[in-house]
Amino acid sequence: DIYCFSRLSNSKMLSHCLCQVYKCLFLRNLKLNLINVATLARRIHSSAKKPSDCELKEQTVQKCETEELPQSTENKKFARLHIPVMLEEVVNCLSPQPGQRFLDMTFGAGGHTTALLEKANDITIYALDRDPTAYKIAQQLSESYPKQIRALLGQFSQSEALLISSGVEPGTLDGVLLDAGCSSMQFDTPERGFSLQKDGPLDMRMDSDRYPEMPTAADVVNALDQQALASILRTYGEERHAKKIASAIVQARSIYPITRTQQLASIVAGAFPASALHARKDLLQRPTHVATKTFQGLRIFVNDELHELLIGLKTAEKFLKPGGRLVALSFHSLEDRIIKRFLHGIDMTEKYNLGSRQKIRQALKNCSKEDDTQEFPHGKSNSKWIFIQKKVLTPQAKDIQTNPRGRSAKLRAAIKL
């Protein structure tokens, strides 16, 4: 018991020291109103040591040589667990042709990549993922498609360096797929700490333990004060009761450190009356846990997901050739808003209100209607992209039945001019 108490005390001290600097930056900038929560996340993640381009390439090669590849049975198991979202729509929008080169920026279990390989012969796909498990699955799949799959391990912000080190020059790719969602492999592995339905360590790092300096979700909930926690839950989780939940977290951690997923879920549930525990419903009108948005907010913050998404979109634009296709999948309004604004050329700092819609309409009116109208009949919103579909695509009813986790997906596709 003494040993366990000592370990918990040391863990709490380490967590407190790790996040103390982040807390100071957070509160200082909230007071000054100079930056938003997304800027804080960038500061947190940029303060942790990340490898240089050379170190990144060496690290990837070393992992290929030293890490044992997963067994084929495990690979098939993950493939069954992770059902690719809107598979038919993705393939149709990318429209692969023999000899083309594509970048799958979120490889996952390889569902989209495999479908593209089966659709067209002799195509090359650069399979990127920040999750080491997905990277190993990409290595495994590359044995079945020699010289067609190039596995890359890294975040969106590292993709440019990884592509260049793999011999890919800017403006040479025919298509890019960006799936901003969290994979079923991560949700279904309790040790990763993503799911509130399965108990596990409160981690939530998509990179796993590649960067030990990066804070986990446990570090965040145990070190940041109530105001900072509420801001994270409100901004990233879009949680209306952020203050109430943050207060419950601070009160609970004063008694015992919060280190497990179901421990946090119970704390959040305790902040609500019993009648409200199952009042929330998803798009299928099924009851959802009151801690769902809390987990979403912490996950986005820990992984700096929104900033990474924006960098990923910019990288895709840089490496696509004129006429190349971008397909982006999002799963909540924060992601979709970034993708929509990026494609329409709207400043990310603009308020998301009617003014934004008016700017889109104005851009559509001002755009030229010249020779490319017949080839791209849906028109264009700025000088960089032409939309493949007039409206955002959502999953069909049959897809939602077979894959309920993809119910909130939104697909936007565009062609680079």
Q: What is the DSSP string of 232-282?
A: HHHHHS--TTHHHHHHHHHHHHTTS---BHHHHHHHHHHTS-GGGTT--B-
The per-residue pLDDT for 372 is 42
183: confidence class by pLDDT, cuts 50, 70, 90: confident
pTM of the shown model: 0.78
- Residue ranges of alpha helices (H) inside 33-165 are 37-47, 53-66, 72-81, 87-94, 111-119, 132-144, 159-165
Q: Is residue 7 predicted with pLDDT exceeding 90? A: no
The per-residue pLDDT for 286 is 64
Is the Cβ–Cβ distance between 287 and 278 less than 8 Å? yes
Q: Is residue 414 predicted with pLDDT exceeding 50? A: yes
Q: Which amino acid, one-letter code, is at 109?
A: A
Q: Is residue 143 predicted with pLDDT exceeding 70? A: yes
Q: Is residue 304 predicted with pLDDT exceeding 60? A: yes
The per-residue pLDDT for 305 is 96
Is the Cβ–Cβ distance between 345 and 356 less than 8 Å? no
Which residues contact residue 352 at a Cβ distance below 8 angstroms, ignoring those fewer than 6 apart?
337
Between these two residues, 231 and 31, which has the higher pLDDT value? 231
Q: pLDDT tens for residues 29-49?
A: 333 333 344 455 555 555 454
For residue 316, the surrounding DSSP H or E stretch is helix 305-319
Structure token digits, residue 401: 């039945």
Is the Cβ–Cβ distance between 204 and 191 less than 8 Å? no
